[in-house]
Amino acid sequence: MNAQAGSSWDKVEFYSSYFLMFVLASVIGTRLSFATVWVMPTIDLLFNIIALVLVIASFWVARARRSWRIWIIAFATATQLVPMVIRYPALLFPLLGGLIPVIIMGWALFSLARKGSNNPRVRGS
């Protein structure tokens, strides 16, 4: 039963990372579609195109490698957040405030994923 628990957490990570890549691809695609209407700095345009290609390719390329999915998600997220914060430093405060629940959720998922089979399971209330 504990082996199934480990595999179920692997499935949670797998599907959540794929969902996150889908959301990132949607955001980057929308941002690139707005670049046809409004002028986007060339470096942003270049990074967005690279990030979109990586995210779309990661559905096939990184399906078996968790580390590749995490690096692609981190790069794609950075291409969206870093240029905004560099141009408008005041955006750093709401981003840091939004990071607090993300850290709490990540810590909870990490601790649940690391829950070993050596720990006795508590049943009942």
> Where do the structural domains in the chain lie, given as residue ranges?
2-113
Mean pLDDT by 10 residues, the chain (125 residues): 56 80 91 91 91 90 80 88 90 90 84 63 53
CA distance 37 to 7: 46
Q: What's residue 16's pLDDT?
A: 81
Q: What's residue 94's pLDDT?
A: 92
Claim: this prediction has a pTM higher than 0.75: no
- For residue 64, which amino acid is it? A
H or E element: which one contains 32?
Answer: helix 2-34
CA distance 55 to 20: 10
